[in-house]
Amino acid sequence: MNIHSTRTALAIVRIAAAGNMLIHGISRTATGGVAGFDEYLTSLGFPPYAAFIITAFELIAAVLIIINRWTSILSIFFCVELVMGIILVHGPEGWFVVGHGRNGSEYNVLLMLCFISSIIAYWPKKEGQK
């Protein structure tokens, strides 16, 4: 595989993962789900307005990753968010999102692997490193 196809493949992974998080934030906002999500998080002991901050992060960070700005650091934060999603919501539902289960962890894990690939690929290089 040449360097151009490798860069293209990594860009597709980066944009697809960030695009999914962007759509997630847009959907939550457009359907009025932020307030309900905030009530749920508050019931778990999170501070009020945590869902609003998370949703704003999804919208802003996803766009920044799509345009390849601060990709590695923002991808780390998305991985943390996705792990928390597994702990709080998806893990107790099992592995499968559909088919042999419902609302499970498999999608979160796939997104985390995409973000981990982006972290590795876009981590800032020191001068002289290839």
At 23-76, the pLDDT tens digits run 999 999 999 999 999 999 999 999 999 999 999 999 999 999 999 999 999 999
At 79-89, the pLDDT tens digits run 999 999 999 99
DSSP 25-93: HHHHHHTTHHHHHHHHHHHTTPPTTHHHHHHHHHHHHHHHHHTTSSHHHHHHHHHHHHHHHIIIIIGGG
Mean pLDDT over the full length of the chain: 95
Domain that holds residue 43: 3-122
Specify the pTM: 0.93
More confidently predicted of 10 and 128: 10
User: What is the tally of structural domains in the chain?
Assistant: 1
Structural domain contains residue 127:
no
Structural domain contains residue 79:
yes
Structural domain contains residue 130:
no
Structural domain contains residue 58:
yes
Structural domain contains residue 49:
yes
- The residues near 72 (Cβ < 8 Å, ≥ 6 apart) are 118, 119, 122, 123, 124
Structural domain contains residue 30:
yes
Structural domain contains residue 107:
yes
